[in-house]
Structure 1
Amino acid sequence: MRRILIVGAGQSGLQLGLGLVGRGYDVTLMSARTPEEIRNGRVMSTQMMFASSLANERELGIDFWADQAPTVHGLGVSVAGPDGGRAIDWLGRLDEPAQSVDQRVKMAGWLEEFERAGGHLVIHPVSLSDLDSLTVMFDLTVVAAGKGELVDLFDRDAARSCHTSTQRALSVVYVHGLGPRPEHPDVDAVRCNLIPGIGELFVMPSLTLSGRCDILFFEGIPGGPLDCFTEVRNDPGAHLARTLELMRRYVPWEYERARGVELTDHKGTLVGGYPPVVRQPVGRLPSGRFALGMADVVVANDPITGQGSNNASKCAAVYLDAITAAGDGPLDEAFMRNAFESYWAEAETVTAWTNAMLAPPPPHVLEVLGAAGEHPEVADRFANGFDRTADFRNWLLDPDRTRSYLAEVTTSHAA
């Protein structure tokens, strides 16, 4: 039986570990925290997952909260106008629903399931020297912990990374009591509010420790008026108050339904930011042995496109199939690089799209946002691109293809 070591207990590491245990592998997973410590800790992300990522969990039988989490059927976009109103406002319908489950709920539950299923769980932080001494006991070592000194094993890939600094200051608040959106009160949807030159506010339904909730997620251009949460990072009440004041000032249509919200819990806030980066997938340890990086260890995009957990799920699915297909063959450096390139075939478009969204929208993207308000099929195609990201190559990421597509839509409606 092949022995696999996974360091890191997030979406990618746990999904891969559970998948490998289910296929008969001897898997050891190292986590810095116990399930209870995770449940009692701070929120970690926004984690809206779209249909193909949710399908990966269903296939492994680990979609334990599918009947409890809000079912998201739409994705809407609003663009703030200079008069305080909305210059653009529309809702795209998802072909298949999305869901978000607080990672405190999911990762704690998955850790417990991993042990029940026969995996070996070790609760201990892992240093570089720890990892180097451990790898000799395993056929493959996978690093799925996106923070700490282990990330330094994986060199920045300058050819695939276009940023060297943080592109957004991030602020997350989990709340109860958010009212429905008047335009579609019966449809749970992710709402993307774009504030030109300032940043974005994303509003999304989720499931947390205390049940149904909503997430208020600001992305602020560094140095701008939304880059103001560092000083309140340890004061949840002040964090929420500042969030609401910024909503009142910049997105009053969202503020109106948020007047009565309350924090879900005193650990329901998060402040951060990091430079988007793509790293080399193979890390060489002091002993000369190798480790394979996965998910945000090697591809860390800004969360503006909501792809972090989706990338993690897809990376875990690719690696699971690659390890299985290898059979008794070598799980060496060549295997690691090939496994990553299979994942990069998907992640490359996500990275290009995310980097494009961080920049001021070019004219052809503005044309798309405007057309989506007039033609529901454009809105729907944009919304479903959050799941089927490869489709953006066919129309959104190339100005000529964009205009050709929009011309087809206009002609079809005229006919």
Structure 2
Amino acid sequence: MRKILVVGAGQSGLQLALGLQSHGYDVTVMSNRTADEIRSGRVMSTQCMFHTALQHERDLQLNFWEARAPKIEGLGVSVAAPGSFDPGPAQRAIGWVGRLDGYAQSVDQRLKMAGWMETFAQRGGQLVIHGAAVGDLDYFSRVYDLVLVAAGKGELVSMFARDPERSPYREPQRALAAAYVHDLGPHPEHPEFDAARCNLVPGVGELIVSPSLTAHGRADMLFWEGVPGGPLDVFAGVRDPGEHLSLTLALMERYTPWEYERARKAELTDAGGVLAGRYAPTVRNPVGRLPGGGLVLGVGDVVVANDPLTGQGSNSASKCAASYLASILEHGEKEFDEVWMRRTFERYWETARYVTKWTNAMLAPPREHVLELMEAAGRFAPVARRFANGFDDPADFEGYFYEPEKTKAYLASVAGG
């Protein structure tokens, strides 16, 4: 029986570990926190998983919360009129919602990762609660047939060099601030169904509002992405959760008043329901070389860490786990050498490159033809629907999003039809 070590207990690492376990592999997972510590801790992310990623979980029978989590049936976009927010409140120039072909869902990762860790152990997997250093992996690389690093922060990431050809940014492009809340009212434009809402404030940043399931029941995530140094970049020194929420709501009142109206009575789900930080979007070399000569393979956001602006983090993690699982199963009893590791990553990159290209494009100021596309989506339901479903399959943006000529031709075909 092949022995595999997975370092890290997030979406990608645990999904891959549970998938390997279901196929009879001897799997060990290392985590620096227990399930109880994760469950009772601070939120780790925002997440909205679309159909393809959810199906990967269904395929492994890991969709434990699907019946309880809100079904997100649409994706809405609003754009503030440039300059209308100075001094504010902003005026909305564009607003629409596109229906998703398959619903999306969000489960608080504190709930999901704790549950998956316990499931892994209950199914006979070895769960080691210990932080791993490079020196530890030097030993483990001689004991295990394959070591997978799925811990996207800390010392271990330094083993994976930045890929400059695939990483256009060296600095964080957004200051991030999230709050999980109860008592958010329904959206007046679609009260009969849930939708994730993306609010663009040109030159300032973005607000993403999306429903989720937490240990405390139904919640909504209020997630600001601020241009560094701008008016939204004010959360770094905030330590009090209540102050974090008050600041979130005050910024909504000025920059997205159409969202603020339903958030007036919002309250935090719990004291750990806030998060702030920033990081530079980075694609890394997938193979880490240890001091003793052993090799490890990076997984998930260890190797591809996009800005969360487009809501792709947990989706990409799930797709990476599914791709790596297929590569490992197909490899059989052969050695997991460097050639295989690089080929395995490139197989995943065939999907991930579309996510990276789209996310990096959305981080830049919107070009004129993109704003024309956004405006047209408010008049033509097929445009809104296609854009919304691009969150599940970002490869589709190649056909009409990046080049003005393709955008013009697509909109002409829609209008003509």
TM range (shorter): over 0.9
Q: Structure 1 CA distance, aligned partners of 2:124 and 2:343?
A: 29
Q: Structure 1 CA distance, aligned partners of 2:18 and 2:43?
A: 23
Q: Select the residue among 385, 388, 397 that pairs with 2:393.
A: 388
Shift of residue 404 of structure 1?
A: 1.1
Aligned length: 411
Q: Select the residue among 119, 130, 137 that pairs with 2:136.
A: 130
Matched AA of 2:6 = I
Per-residue displacement from partner, 1:15-42 (whole Å, max 9, x unpaired)?
A: 0000000000000110000000000110
Q: Structure 1 CA distance, aligned partners of 2:335 and 2:387?
A: 41
Q: Structure 1 CA distance, aligned partners of 2:240 and 2:342?
A: 44
Q: Structure 2 CA distance, aligned partners of 1:130 and 1:218?
A: 38
**Mapped pair 1:262 → 2:267:** yes
In structure 2, the gaps of 5 or more residues are 85-89
Per-residue displacement from partner, 1:149-195 (whole Å, max 9, x unpaired)?
A: 00000000011110000000000000000001111111100000100
Shift of residue 397 of structure 1?
A: 2.2
Shift of residue 64 of structure 1?
A: 0.2
| Map 1:47-86 → 2, pairs under 5 A | 47-81=47-81, 82-83=83-84, 84-86=90-92
Q: Structure 2 CA distance, aligned partners of 1:108 and 1:400?
A: 48
Matched AA of 2:192 = D
Consecutive aligned runs of 4 or more in structure 1 exceeding 4 Å deviation: none
Q: Structure 2 CA distance, aligned partners of 1:341 and 1:56?
A: 19
Shift of residue 116 of structure 1?
A: 1.1
Q: Structure 2 CA distance, aligned partners of 1:207 and 1:94?
A: 19
Matched AA of 1:30 = M
Q: Secondary structure at the match of 1:184?
A: coil
Q: Structure 2 CA distance, aligned partners of 1:312 and 1:403?
A: 33
Matched AA of 1:15 = Q
Identity over the aligned pairs, expressed in percent? Answer: 62
Tell me the residue number matched to 1:34. 34
Shift of residue 105 of structure 1?
A: 0.2
Matched AA of 1:305 = T
Q: Structure 1 CA distance, aligned partners of 2:347 and 2:58?
A: 22
Q: Structure 2 CA distance, aligned partners of 1:137 and 1:183?
A: 57
Tell me the residue number matched to 2:310. 305
Matched AA of 2:237 = E
Shift of residue 263 of structure 1?
A: 0.4
Matched AA of 2:408 = R
Per-residue displacement from partner, 1:211-242 (whole Å, max 9, x unpaired)?
A: 0000000000000000000111x200000000
Tell me the residue number matched to 1:201. 207
**Mapped pair 1:330 → 2:313:** no
Tell me the residue number matched to 1:88. 94
Judge which range, 162-171 or 363-372, deviates more: 363-372
TM-score (norm 2): 0.98
Per-residue displacement from partner, 1:85-126 (whole Å, max 9, x unpaired)?
A: 210000000000000000000000000000111211100000
| Map 1:178-217 → 2, pairs under 5 A | 178-217=184-223
2:160–2:284 Cα contact (<8 Å) kept: yes
In structure 1, the gaps of 5 or more residues are none
Q: Structure 2 CA distance, aligned partners of 1:174 and 1:94?
A: 23
Tell me the residue number matched to 1:252. 257
Shift of residue 297 of structure 1?
A: 0.2
Shift of residue 332 of structure 1?
A: 0.9
**Mapped pair 1:154 → 2:160:** yes
Per-residue displacement from partner, 1:40-78 (whole Å, max 9, x unpaired)?
A: 110011110000000000000000000010000000000
Tell me the residue number matched to 2:17. 17
Q: Secondary structure at the match of 2:56?
A: helix
Shift of residue 367 of structure 1?
A: 1.2
Q: Structure 1 CA distance, aligned partners of 2:237 and 2:277?
A: 12
**Mapped pair 1:219 → 2:219:** no
2:80–2:256 Cα contact (<8 Å) kept: yes
Tell me the residue number matched to 1:411. 416
Matched AA of 2:77 = V
TM-score (norm 1): 0.98
Shift of residue 399 of structure 1?
A: 2.3
Tell me the residue number matched to 2:290. 285
Shift of residue 330 of structure 1?
A: 1.6
Matched AA of 2:354 = T
Q: Structure 2 CA distance, aligned partners of 1:33 and 1:315?
A: 23
Q: Structure 1 CA distance, aligned partners of 2:94 and 2:67?
A: 34
Shift of residue 398 of structure 1?
A: 2.5
2:202–2:366 Cα contact (<8 Å) kept: no
Tell me the residue number matched to 2:46. 46
Matched AA of 2:269 = T
Q: Structure 1 CA distance, aligned partners of 2:317 and 2:214?
A: 20
Per-residue displacement from partner, 1:285-326 (whole Å, max 9, x unpaired)?
A: 001110000110000000000000000000000000000000
Q: Structure 2 CA distance, aligned partners of 1:198 and 1:345?
A: 32
Q: Structure 1 CA distance, aligned partners of 2:348 and 2:375?
A: 33
